[in-house]
Amino acid sequence: MAFQLKQNRKESENKTIRFPLPLIQEIEAVIANQDVTFSSFVLQACEYALKNMDTDENKSE
């Protein structure tokens, strides 16, 4: 399944994270004109990664 951007998230907690500048620039280019915030993109990308990473649990499926 391809990664697709969703709009809007609700309940949250602040966390501080550092990104390499080239990665920030790449993300900002992807979300330009998409009505998606940087934070929303990062959350969705993390959720996608967690659901699709190779783990012992996923290998049995």
pLDDT tens for 7-59 read: 666 777 889 999 999 999 999 999 999 999 999 999 999 999 999 998 776 55
The answer as to whether 32 is a domain residue is yes
Domain membership of residue 8 (yes or no) is: no
Assigned domain for 13 exists = no
Residue with tokens 């996608």: 48
Residue 47, in any domain of the structure: yes
What pLDDT does residue 61 have? Answer: 55
Within 8 A by CB and 6+ apart from 41, the residues are 5, 27, 30, 31
Residue 2 counted as domain residue: no
Number of domains in the chain: 1
Domain hosting 47: range is: 21-53
